[in-house]
Amino acid sequence: MKWVLLCLLPFPAVADALVTTRVIKAGQIIQPADLSVVDADIPGAISDPALIFGQEARVALYPGRPIREGQVGPPAVVLRNQIVALSYVSGAIAITTEGRALDRGGVGDLISVLNLSSRNTVQGWVLPDGSVRVSRSEG
């Protein structure tokens, strides 16, 4: 009878992580010159520069610190307190009214909007044209 002994020893995995080269304030668009790549295995850190370029910082980013998911996102097309077209579409029913954005958001972000007609607060997704759709269906 032969016995095989398999030993698994931990060894450090080396991966790339993106860090900033300057302070980037929340709301600023990230440019290629703002980033640097370091050899480090940092859990949750973004390593692909293509995912970051042209995105907006959601929080302040500091030099030498890794950029993590959730700290960047699409540039805002709706600003807080902006009047937006608010729509609900479900099958043959389409309702459109005006609302006041209670949050700032980029395309695809879920934000709160005050319906100016009913004074109710609803949540909806920001569309590329700056309007907000309350229903997910494309109707």
Digit-coded pLDDT (tens) for 90-131? 889 999 999 999 999 999 999 999 999 999 999 999 999 999
pLDDT of the residue at 59: 94
pTM given for the model = 0.67
Write down the pLDDT at residue 139: 46
Q: What pLDDT digit, counting tens, does each position of 60-85 carry?
A: 999 989 999 889 988 999 999 999 99
DSSP track, the chain: ---------------EEEEESS-B-TTPBP-GGGEEEEE---TTB---GGGTTT-EESS-B-BTSBPBTTSEESPEEE-TT-EEEEEEEETTEEEEEEEEESS-EETT-EEEEEETTT--EEEEEEPTTS-EESSS---
- Which domains, and CATH codes, for the chain? 14-73 (3.90.1210.10), 76-133 (2.30.30.760)
